[in-house]
Structure 1
Amino acid sequence: MDNQSPFEQFDELRIDASSKLFLAEAGKWTTFLAILGYIGIGFMILAGIMMISLGNSAGMYGKFFPMGSGLILGSTYLVLAGLYFIPINYLYRFGSNMKTAISSNNQASLTRAFEYLKSHYKFIGILTIILIGLYILIIIAAIILPVGAIR
C-alpha cells in the first residue's frame, strides 16, 4: 500500500503555457507595485526629514504640536519607511526573478522568485500578528485606564 500524499507522487511540478503567462504577468505587476512602493518610501523619508528639521522651528509648535513633536513624528516616519522597505524589497525581488525565470526558462530564478514571495508573505503575516497583539493591548489599556489618566 502506498502511503504517499497526492503531492508527494509528483517528482517535479511542471509549468504549462498558461501558468507561464500568468506568472509573467504577476512578475510585471509586482515589479510595478514594488517601484511604487519604493517611491512611497522615498516620500516617507523626505517627510520624516522635513518633520525633524522643520518641526521644532519657531512658530511650528503650540497647542497641537508641542515642542519635540517634530522629532517624534519624523523619527516615526523614518522607522515606518525602514519597516516598509523589507516587504517591498521582497516583492521587487520576486518580480525581477520571475521575469528572468520566465524569459530564460531558468529554474534557479523561479525557485528564488518563490522564495522571495514566501518571505514577503511571512513578513506581512508576522507583522499582522504583532499589530493585532498591539491593538488588543491598546484596547485592554483603554478599558482599564480611566479617561483622565490618558491625558
Structure 2
Amino acid sequence: MEENLSSPIEENNTITLERPALGFLMETARWGKLLAILGFIGLGLLVLMGFFYGALISAMVGDELGNIPASFSWIMGFAYLLIALLFFFPVLYLYRFSVKTQSSVRSKNTVELTQAFSNLKSVFKFFGIYTIVILAIYGLVFLGVLMGAAFMS
C-alpha cells in the first residue's frame, strides 16, 4: 500500500492535452505575459524612484526635512533598487513561461513546454520562499512586541 512519491512520473509516460487544455494554457500564457509586462513597467518605475528618491522628497517637502538626515534618502533609494532587483527574477520567469508556452503550443513542441513549466515552477518557488521569509519576519516582530510589552508592564 506504500507508494513511491519521489518519482511519480516514469520515463516512458506521455501526456496528451486536448484542445480545451491547450486553450487554457494559451489564455494563461496571455495573462501571464500581460502581468509580466506590467511587472517590468513597475520595476522600471521602482528603479527610477530609487535613483531620484532624494530629489523627489526634497522637492515635495522642501525645508520641512530639517530633522531627517540626508543619508536617509540615499538609504531609501537603495532600498527601492534592492526591491526592484529582488522582484526582477519572478517577473522574468513569468515572462519566459508565457512566451515559451505560447510558442510550444503553436509548434506542438513538448521540450519547449517543459522549459515553460520549469519557469513557472521558479515563479511559485520564489513566492513560496518569499512568503515563508515574510511570515518568519512577522513572527519575530510579534515576539518582539510581546517581549517589549512584558518588560514595559
Q: TM-score, normalised to structure 1's length?
A: 0.84
Shift of 1:55: 5.0
Corresponding position of 1:67? 70
- 2: distance between equivalents of 1:25 and 1:139? 41
Corresponding position of 1:27? 29
Q: 1:29-44 to 2 correspondence within 5 Å?
A: 29-44=31-46
- 1: distance between equivalents of 2:66 and 2:146? 30
Shift of 1:59: 3.1
Shift of 1:143: 1.8
Task: Specify every segment of 5 or more residues in structure 1 that has no aligned partner in the other structure, as ranges.
Answer: none
Residue by residue over 1:10-65, the C-alpha shift from the partner in whole angstroms, topping out at 9 and shown as x without a partner, is: 821111111011101111110111000000000000011111455578736234x4
**Identity within the alignment, %:** 33
Q: Which of 133, 138, 143 pairs up with 2:136?
A: 133
Secondary structure of the residue that 1:145 maps to in structure 2? Answer: helix
Aligned residue pairs total 144
Query: After TM superposition, what 4+ stretches of structure 1 lie above 4 angstroms from structure 2?
Result: 7-10, 52-58
- 2: distance between equivalents of 1:52 and 1:129? 32
Corresponding position of 1:112? 115
Secondary structure of the residue that 1:13 maps to in structure 2? Answer: coil
- 2: distance between equivalents of 1:145 and 1:45? 36
Corresponding position of 1:102? 105
- 2: distance between equivalents of 1:8 and 1:50? 51
- 1: distance between equivalents of 2:89 and 2:144? 30
Corresponding position of 1:90? 93
Secondary structure of the residue that 1:39 maps to in structure 2? Answer: helix
Secondary structure of the residue that 1:12 maps to in structure 2? Answer: coil
User: What is the RMSD of the two structures over their aligned residues, measured on CA atoms?
Assistant: 2.6
- 1: distance between equivalents of 2:143 and 2:94? 35
Larger helix proportion, structure 1 or 2?
2
Task: Specify every segment of 5 or more residues in structure 2 that has no aligned partner in the other structure, as ranges.
Answer: none
- 2: distance between equivalents of 1:145 and 1:62? 31
